[in-house]
Structure formats: C-alpha cells, structure tokens
C-alpha cells in the first residue's frame, strides 16, 4: 500500500544505548577465529551495546524521551498519543506505553498503545502516528520504542549471537510540516524470523537475505516512481542496519552510491526497531546538519518491509546517549 500524508513534521529524534558493550572478537573461543573474522568482514559488526540483566527496553526509550524533554522538543501536556514499538515489551499487560505514559508525566487523556513490528517498527510507528494526526484532536504523537534482543538469542547460533545490540529511541511527530510524506508498506506471512513465547530468537539467514535483496529494492524503486523523483534527487538512503553486506547489495541494486547509503553497524550491531532512529542520531552526532531529502527503508519480522520518503532536519536529531545501568 502506498500512502501520502501532508502537513506532518518530525519534530525531534533521540536514541539511547546501554553503556556496556560486547566485543565480537570475544566470541572467537566459542565459534573459532576464522568464523568470527568472516562474520566481522561480511556483517560489519565489531561490538554492540548490551543491556544488563533485568533492564528493559523501556528504560532506554524513557532516557531518549527525557533527552527530548530536556532539549525542549516537547512538553508532556502537548502529547495526545504515545506509541511504544517493540518485540520485547516490559510485560504482556499492562502496555509498556501506559507505563511510560505515567513515568513521563503524560496526561490521563493520552492514548497509549503498544505495537509489535520488529525491525520495521520505526516506520510502522511513523505510519500509525500519521493516521492519528489526521484527526483534528491529535496534536502530537510521542513515538517510543526499543528492543533487548541480545538476551534472547541462542548463544550457540553464529547467525544471531554476534549480531543483535540493545537500544531505545524516542521521536515526536506533529502537525505543520511543509513537505509531504510518502510511505509504502507490504507484508507476507513467514517464519523466516521468529521469536516464540518463552523461546529463543530464530532466523533463517538465507531466506532473510533473499527477501532483503529482492523485495526491498523493488519497493524503493516503487516509492521513487510514485514521487516522480530520480535517484539523483535523493541525498540519503537510510536502511535498517541489518547486515553490511545486505546494505551494499541494496545500494547496488537500486543504483545508489554507497556513500549515500550510510552503514554504522560496527559499533551498534542490529538494534531491531531502534536501528533507523539510532542511525539518525549517530549521523547527527557526527555533525550532519540541515534538511536532507531522504528515503528510509526498514524490513524484517513478518516478513514486513516499509519505505518512506521524507525530508529530515538533522538539527532535530540528538546525539546518541550511552546510559549506565539504573541504580538499585
């Protein structure tokens, strides 16, 4: 489905990661030096942030939201809906969104919803926020999310044990933007990526790779066609940070030079739902500024794949915050 929205603005984005990191080189004893070296070369991960035992993704989402609060991006009384996107919520019930609603001092009239959409979650949240903001009574949506998948992988599985980092994010979406957003979404039932209740994260690497380098480039091309823009008109293509080799293949198949398809997996790993906002904040921390004509594309569990065309002002993106473990 291709949808177009006018009058929306991404007012600010923040991201937070655990202070503790795990080095991929440390897995050599478990998997062998050759396997680890090959993983580092192909996947592109050198280290990734790991949440301490018992610390939930909501802790990092809240830290990111408080960063936006401190920066004056929003005031609690201006938020009419809060969304929390995650595969690893605090509990089945109550919703993590309602818990964060209370911790952040949002009013009782605030709509609080949890969404579960894996690696495509940030764009799913933007799409949901866009629909909510179509109602006159909704002024701003606080989009929160994060995952702590590092503790749910099979430690004997080379595909995932060295891949997933933990992180959280916050974004404020409001009315008043001058540029239209175009968002494409698609999904197909698949068990290629799965997280069973009480089980370990499961992923079929071959199936995920084939899906990523076929359906995602097709969708990116479709969004360009729908907007009538050429590749040259796009400043940046921001892809879910799934795998460095996959990112290079998508860049090649869509005709974008790799310089316009940034990869920052080396120190982050695959942070699932937080991947795109974390990439935005890391780029802002590197000094990127100004409005950029961007394509954002995310893909994963479902299988679900989504692509958005919007303008980004990196002045509104906060540098990523590294959070110590909470005090007892």
Residues with a catalytic annotation lie at 119, 240, 270
Which contiguous run of DSSP H or E holds residue 276?
helix 275-285
Euclidean distance between CA atoms 308 and 162, whole angstroms: 29
C-beta of residue 46 within 8 angstroms of C-beta of residue 23: yes
Which tokens hold the place of 113?
Answer: 């919803």
Hey, which bits of the chain come out as E strands?
2-5, 8-18, 21-23, 47-49, 81-85, 111-115, 140-147, 167-175, 181-187, 193-194, 202-203, 236-239, 291-300, 304-313, 321-323
For 156, counting Cβ atoms within 10 Å of its Cβ (0-12 exposed, 13-18 middle, 19+ buried), the class is exposed
Strand partners, 16: 168, 321
φ and ψ at 296, to 5 degrees? -115, 130
Please state, in angstroms and rounded to a whole number, the distance separating the CA atoms of residues 250 and 216: 7
Q: State the Cα angle at 187 between 293 and 42, rounded to 5°.
A: 65
Distances (CA, A) of 103 to 18, 137, 223: 19, 23, 38
Sign for the pseudo-dihedral over CA of 202, 207, 212, 213: positive
How many distinct helices (H) and strands (E) make up the chain? Answer: 10, 15
Of all helices (H) and strands (E), which one includes residue 284?
helix 275-285
């Amino acid at each position: 489905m291709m949808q177009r929205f006018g009058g929306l603005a991404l007012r600010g984005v923040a991201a937070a990661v655990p202070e503790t990191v795990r080095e991929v080189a440390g897995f050599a004893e478990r998997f062998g030096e050759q396997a680890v070296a090959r993983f580092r070369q192909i996947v592109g991960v050198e280290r990734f942030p790991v949440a301490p035992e018992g610390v939930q993704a909501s802790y990092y989402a809240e830290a990111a939201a408080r960063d936006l609060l401190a920066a004056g991006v929003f005031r609690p009384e201006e938020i009419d809906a809060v969304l929390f996107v995650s595969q690893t919520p605090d509990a089945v019930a109550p919703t993590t969104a309602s818990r964060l609603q209370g911790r952040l001092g949002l009013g009782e009239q605030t709509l609080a919803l949890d969404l579960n959409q894996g690696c495509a979650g940030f764009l799913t949240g933007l799409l949901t926020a866009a629909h909510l903001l179509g109602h006159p009574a909704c002024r701003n949506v606080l989009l929160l999310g994060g995952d702590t998948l590092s503790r749910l992988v099979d430690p004997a599985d080379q595909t995932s044990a060295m891949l997933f980092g933990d992180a959280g994010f916050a974004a404020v979406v409001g009315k008043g933007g001058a540029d239209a957003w175009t968002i494409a979404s698609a999904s197909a039932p698949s068990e290629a990526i799965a997280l069973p209740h009480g089980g370990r994260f499961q992923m079929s690497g071959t199936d995920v790779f084939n899906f990523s380098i076929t359906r995602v480039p097709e969708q990116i091309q479709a969004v360009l066609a729908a907007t009538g823009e050429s590749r040259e008109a796009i400043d940046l293509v921001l892809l879910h940070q799934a795998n460095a080799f996959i990112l290079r293949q998508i860049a090649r198949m869509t005709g974008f030079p790799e310089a316009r398809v940034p990869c920052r997996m080396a120190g982050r790993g695959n942070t699932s739902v937080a991947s795109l906002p974390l990439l935005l904040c890391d780029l802002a921390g590197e000094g990127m500024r100004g409005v950029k004509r961007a394509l954002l594309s995310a893909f994963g569990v479902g299988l679900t794949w989504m692509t958005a065309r919007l303008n980004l002002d990196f002045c509104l993106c906060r540098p990523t915050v590294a959070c110590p473990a909470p005090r007892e």
